[in-house]
Chain A
Amino acid sequence: MSTIPSLELRNLQVQYTVRGIEKDVLRGVSFSIAPGEAYGLVGESGCGKSTAAFAAMRYLPRNGKISGGQILFEGNDMTAMSADEVSNLRKSAISMVYQNPIAALNPTVRIGKQVAEVFELSGESESVAMKHAYEALARVQIADVESVMRRYPHQLSGGMAQRVVIAMALATNPRLLVMDEPTTGLDATVEAEVLELVRQLRRETGTAVLFISHNLGVIRHMCDRVGVLYAGSLVEEGSTEEIFNNPSHPYTVGLLRCIPRGGLHKNTDRLDTILGTPPALGAKFDGCVYVDRCALVEERCRTTKPEAVSIGTGHAASCFNYAQAQSMPRAVDAVQVNVSQDQNRKTTGTRLLNIDHLSKAFTQEGRTVQVVNDVSLSVGVGETLGLVGESGAGKTTIAKLILGLTGSDSGSQVVLDGKNLAATLRKRDISDVGAMQIVFQNPDQALNRRHSVTRIVSRAVQKLRGLNGTESDDRAHELLSGMRVEASLHSARPTQLSGGLKQRVAISRAFAGSPQLVVCDEPTSALDVSVQATILNLLVDLQKQDGTSFIFISHDLGVVRYISDKIAVLYLGRVVEFGDSNQVFGGPHHPYTEALLSSVPNIDGTVRKRIPLTGSVPSPSNPPNGCVLNPRCPRMAGSGVEGLCTTVEPELKEVEPGHFMRCHIPLDQLRVTQQK
């Protein structure tokens, strides 16, 4: 191995010109990636991760410029190269994989042709290029290469499209691969496959990788070394082990504390958070960039820029008080406050919502698609039911059916507090409508951007509480203040608020009519981890105060585990497992749950054997015979009940008290095989 690093950033400074003002985005970032090494960059949004990635290819937006420092690729300064030289490097030596694979592919060109174009660019004839395209696609473990080559991008699943993009990125045998959030937006099992593929390709090719992700678990599994970016500065750098086990910058420590790790639960633990938000683009600092949010801030931090202090081999943090970082005080109390425990105890156990035989079929191009198939669930008073499953499992549809936003098929029953509800909102009483509300995933779309914050909440109070005029405004302000939305922001429009604030406004609106049940549909997945922690704490507080029940939908199993009392695992519109949170996570699991759990990159670094699901999710318009999981089931082979699995669909049956499963394999047999 040569001693020249593949990529080296030396004191790189990048500025964006926004409305005529130059704003610092990267403030002197230095790191290097050795050949064959995977380097991870983490940090919250707006900290400059993507800018660093694009700068590494010298590919900045039109208003961006490198205002200082150097980018050395294999020792050659890219900042001094001509446009042609850089373009040649991009053609032959550096490749990039973006976040949204479907958008990265040309929708009008067949996959085969598209991959072949990469080879044609390097001067190959069409037929040779096609042959090489075939090999490139086979290398990323696409099973049926010929059929994939004939397809258009929209005919591919997200995971498959990302494989194609990776195949194209690797086509030229690059010596550096830049990956910007390559698995964000993919399902857990698909993410696991793509990550596995990248790891394997790295072993084969020895390509250096610059890996960018907001997901610390993914970084932990993928990278050899990690750099933590904050406000355009590298605040800590070290080997992955060191960063996760011995974090030494208050920001790194804070980030790690925000994450709901396995074992934490809302009943006992409050999540820690990082106060404040990252500074605005181009903010000026005399001292440390983290002063505004740091729990260990001192006078010298404001005036003097801390130099990187070496803590161990290759491990450095830019903090005067790095020694105290791990013992820094929490931003919020660790112990959960139980506001009205007595009241809770009285009511828990009573069933608030019962769903029976909930079904929904859509007709699509003449075919019937059974999106939700005979789902029966219940939610207790003051209880959180977590809905887990991959995209297309029917989580959001179930929520819409319960709320009446979409009418359920006949035979379905939604019973709230003993009262049978009509299928559609229009036919429900106003009190029943107010009793069940929702917090959506994307607050940008859930709040009318033309209405003020007060108006949004006040209107809900008017309709659901029957209050008018100043009364409803007063109640709205009360609610908003309760969610810690400052009075000065009540007249603002949603577009003027940060993501976390918008979500607070949305939560205020959902609670306007004192609901008994609130559906939270991925309420934190668009937010940074520190904001996520604050929102989760807020939701838990509300539940403890009012005894509100939640249906919590999330693809983040850590979050679901933290906040849920009961969990339902969905696959292809069916509940495959249902039980207490610790039963579902503790096992024995349904084979699908097992695969799902094993595919989550664990932030604690414990290595788990991944139980892969073969193939892809079947179309709900044409579900497999027998158990719908059987073509992909990791536990069917050798179970002795294969005959049943492929012919008879299993019932959801109680396998132990309170624990339901839809599987032919006996529980004890699952327990034994899963312990191996």
Chain B
Amino acid sequence: MNTSSSAVRTKSNAERKAIRAERFQLLRRNKAFLVGAFILSFWLLIAVFGSMIAPYPYDAMDFMAVSKKPSGTYWFGTNKLGQDVFSRVLAGTQLIVWMSFLATALGTIVGGTLGLAAGYFKGWFDIILMRILEAISAIPVLIVALLAIAALDGQSSGITVGVIGFVFAPNIARTVRAAVLSEAELEYVAAARLRAERTPHILFKEILPNVLPPIIVEFTVRLGYAIFAIATLSFLGAGVEAGSPNWGSQISENWAYIFSNIWWPTLFPAIAIASLAVSVNLISDGLLEVFEV
């Protein structure tokens, strides 16, 4: 029996490293991803350390300095209450970053689980579940959110996170289901069944790791939507605790004064929203190219 193990080949260590390095390099060379990652890390830093660098407390009012133009003292100017716009933009970061992340994570977990089950079981379960999810996703996000918030009388960020997560779940479920449909046909799933694995193990330990790339991409896409949805809701005065320094409310409180040429309390939070949303979208574009999903 001298059919030695040299009868078989592996990719050399160097080659293995090269493949991993290549994927990393692709990301590093991907301009969209780089710019997005740079902006997002900037906002994450602000979310964590913003309160430390803010020159003033976000709610401190200085009636001697109402509606001041941006200057050395007030970098982004002050609003009609004499509050420092720069400090308020910094203070609003944490809330929107957290809320959008949690809402998307919730939607991904719920939708991902439903999608896994639908793609794996197929048949009636799949048909009924997908019709229900389609019905949910047919209603515009904002309408559902406003209705839910009104019905639950919830001016709380917790309820908003829940509602957005719920509304996002169908889209994520559909993406995951499509990936699982082809994956479940592969023979490693049959092999798992042939050692009497339980269904949750097959779904989460066998199939899930193989459908992660599309889930990650879908997560980043949804994150962008979540940022916009939360900003819009708070602009409409719903979904967040009153008085909290969030970007949407800052815009809604100040936009009317644009016509009096007081543009700065509106412009800076608007730029913040736009740059955060764009950064997330750039990241998802980059991932999409590298994962080729």
Contact = CB atoms under 8 A, between A and B. Distances in A.
Interface of A: 19, 273-277, 280, 331-333, 337, 403, 405, 425, 430, 433-434, 437-438, 440, 442, 445-451, 459-460, 463-464, 484-486, 489, 492, 496-498, 500-501, 504, 506, 509, 512-513, 530-531, 534, 537-538, 541
B273 to A, nearest CB: 37
Contacts of A497: 8, 10-11
B3 A509 contact: no
A450 B210 contact: yes
Nearest to A519: B194
A276 B1 contact: no
A448 B197 contact: no
Given A331-B2, A337-B1, A440-B190, 19 more contacts: A277-B7, A280-B15, A405-B190, A430-B196, A440-B187, A440-B191, A445-B187, A449-B210, A464-B195, A484-B3, A489-B10, A496-B16, A500-B8, A501-B8, A512-B195, A531-B7, A534-B3, A537-B3, A541-B1
A273 B196 contact: no
Interface in B181-224: 186-188, 190-197, 206, 209-210
Contact of A277 (B3, B9, B209): B9
Nearest to A538: B3
B194 A433 contact: yes
Given A332-B2, A405-B193, A484-B5, A496 B11 contact: yes
B188 A446 contact: yes
Nearest to B16: A496
B7 A500 contact: yes
A450 B9 contact: no
B153 interface: no
Contacts, number: 110
Contacts of A498: 8-10
Interface of B: 1-12, 15-16, 18, 22, 186-188, 190-197, 206, 209-210
Contacts of B18: 19
B254 to A, nearest CB: 50
A273 B12 contact: no
Contacts of B196: 425, 430, 433, 463-464
Contacts of A448: 188, 192, 206, 209-210
A612 B22 CA distance: 52
19 contacts: A273-B3, A276-B9, A277-B7, A331-B2, A331-B3, A337-B1, A442-B187, A445-B187, A446-B186, A463-B196, A484-B5, A497-B8, A498-B8, A504-B8, A509-B191, A530-B7, A531-B7, A531-B8, A534-B3
A431 to B, nearest CB: 10
A531 B3 CA distance: 10
Contacts of B22: 19
A409 B145 CA distance: 50
B123 to A, nearest CB: 13
Contacts of B15: 280
Given A448-B188, A497-B10, A332 B1 contact: yes
